[in-house]
C-alpha cells in the first residue's frame, strides 16, 4: 500500500513536471516534433478523402461582405521596383510561368484579364483564427497552367512573390508559397486581380494574389511575379514549400 502510494505520488510529480516545464522542452525535441509533424500527412489524407479534389468552399452573398477586409502579412512590398510598378498602375507587371513546363509563358496583366474569369464571394480564414468575407475576381489557375503544359513530373506549383520578408540588413528572403496540383487546379483557385469590384489594393497583394479557398490565408500568396512548376520544393529557400512553412507552419493548411 505504501509503495503504491509512493508510486502514485511520483507519477503525480512527474505529470506536473511534464506539464509545466516539459512541454516547451518537448517542443524543441526533434523526435517529438517529427512525430507531431507526421500528423500533417494524416490530416491531409483524411481531408482529401472526405473533401475529394473538387468540393467547393462555401460561397456567400453580397450582404455578407466585410465592410473592411482585414489585411495581414506584408501590407506593401515597398521596393524601388515595386513602387515603380505601383506608380504605373501595374501596367507593365508580368507573370512568368515556368519550371517543369513544355511552353514557358510570360503573361501581362491585360492578357490575364482577357482570360476567362471567375468571381466568388468567399471567406478568408487566417491561421490566427479570424475570418473575413470578400468578393474576389480573377483568372482560374487551371487554364493558365494548362496553357503552359506541365511536364509529367510536375507535382507542385510554386508562387514567387515581390515582398521581401527579411529584416533590413539581412539577405533577401522573398515570400513564396506552393500548392499541389489538386489544389492548384481546383475550380475556385484563382489568380485574383479584383477585390469587391475594385482593382486589388496594394495591402491585399496588388496586382495579383492567389485565392485557394479550401486553405488558410498564408497559402494565398500576394504580389505574385512568377509561377514555377516543380517536382519537389526541397531546393527552394528553406525547403518546406513556403515562407511560413520554413518558420514551422504546416505545408498542408486545410485546417
Q: Is the peptide bond before 127 cis (omega within 30 degrees of 0)?
A: no
Starting at the edge strand that comes first in sequence, how are the strands of the sheet with 156-164 ordered?
105-108, 94-99, 224-230, 156-164, 174-180
Of the pair 55, 151, the CB lying nearest other proteins is at 55
**Piece of 108-116, 141-149, 211-219, 227-235 that binds other proteins (CB under 8 A):** 211-219
- Asked if residue 17 binds other proteins (CB under 8 A), the reply is no
> Residue 21 gets which letter from DSSP?
I
- Contact characters 72-91, other proteins, x per CB under 8 A: --------------------
Q: Which residues contact 149 (CB under 8 A, 6 or more apart)?
A: 101, 102, 103
- Contact characters 219-248, other proteins, x per CB under 8 A: -------------------------x--xx
- Asked if residue 216 binds other proteins (CB under 8 A), the reply is yes
- Asked if residue 16 binds other proteins (CB under 8 A), the reply is no
Q: Whole-angstrom Cα distance, residue 226 to residue 187?
A: 21
Start-end of H helices in the chain: 2-17, 23-26, 30-51, 80-87, 109-114, 141-148, 181-184, 243-246
Backbone angles phi, psi at 175, to 5 degrees: -60, 140
Of the pair 163, 245, the CB lying nearest other proteins is at 245
Out of 10, 13, 27, 143, the residue judged to bind other proteins by CB under 8 A: 27
Query: What residue has cell string 486589388?
Result: 200
The contact set with other proteins (CB under 8 A) reads 4-5, 8, 19-20, 23-24, 27, 33, 35-37, 39-40, 42-43, 47, 50-52, 55-58, 60, 64, 66, 68, 70, 123, 125-133, 213-216, 244, 247-250, 254-255
Amino acid at each position: 500500500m505504501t509503495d503504491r502510494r509512493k508510486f502514485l505520488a511520483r507519477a503525480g510529480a512527474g505529470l506536473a513536471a511534464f506539464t509545466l516545464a516539459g512541454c516547451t522542452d518537448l517542443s524543441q525535441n526533434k523526435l517529438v516534433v517529427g512525430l507531431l509533424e507526421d500528423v500533417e500527412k494524416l490530416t491531409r489524407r483524411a481531408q482529401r478523402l472526405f473533401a475529394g479534389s473538387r468540393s467547393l468552399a462555401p460561397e456567400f452573398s453580397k450582404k455578407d461582405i466585410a465592410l473592411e477586409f482585414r489585411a495581414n502579412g506584408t501590407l506593401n512590398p515597398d521596393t524601388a521596383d515595386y513602387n515603380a510598378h505601383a506608380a504605373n498602375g501595374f501596367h507593365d507587371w508580368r507573370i512568368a510561368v515556368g519550371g517543369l513546363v513544355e511552353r514557358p509563358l510570360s503573361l501581362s496583366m491585360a492578357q490575364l484579364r482577357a482570360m476567362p474569369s471567375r468571381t466568388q464571394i468567399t471567406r478568408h480564414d487566417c491561421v490566427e483564427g479570424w475570418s473575413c468575407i470578400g468578393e474576389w475576381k480573377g483568372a482560374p489557375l487551371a487554364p493558365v497552367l494548362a496553357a503552359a503544359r506541365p511536364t509529367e513530373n510536375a507535382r507542385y506549383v510554386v508562387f514567387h512573390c515581390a515582398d521581401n520578408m527579411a529584416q533590413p540588413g539581412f539577405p533577401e528572403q522573398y515570400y513564396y508559397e506552393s500548392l499541389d496540383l489538386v489544389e492548384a487546379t481546383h475550380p475556385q483557385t484563382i489568380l485574383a486581380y479584383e477585390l469587391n469590384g475594385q482593382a486589388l489594393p496594394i495591402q491585399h497583394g496588388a496586382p495579383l494574389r492567389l485565392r485557394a479557398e479550401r486553405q488558410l490565408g498564408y497559402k494565398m500568396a500576394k504580389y505574385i511575379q512568377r509561377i514555377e512548376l516543380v517536382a519537389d520544393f526541397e531546393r527552394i529557400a528553406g525547403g518546406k514549400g513556403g515562407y511560413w512553412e520554413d518558420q514551422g507552419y504546416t505545408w498542408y493548411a486545410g485546417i
